Amino acid sequence: MSEITIYHNPRCSKSRKALEILNTKFSDITVKEYLKEGISCEEVIGLSRLLDAPVSSFVRTKEADYNKNLDWDNESIAALELSKHPILLERPIVVFQNKAVVARPPEKIKTLFGDN
Please give the model's pTM, rounded to 2 decimal places.
0.92
What per-residue confidence (pLDDT) applies to 63? 95
The Cα–Cα gap between 69 and 55 comes to 16
Residue 41 falls in the annotated catalytic set: no
Catalytic residue among 12, 29, 77, 80: 12
Q: Three-class SS of residue 97?
A: coil
Mean pLDDT score of the chain, rounded to an integer? 94
Burial class (CB in 10 A: 0-12, 13-18, 19+), 97: exposed
Q: State pLDDT tens for residues 2-44.
A: 789 999 999 999 999 999 999 998 989 999 999 999 999 999 9
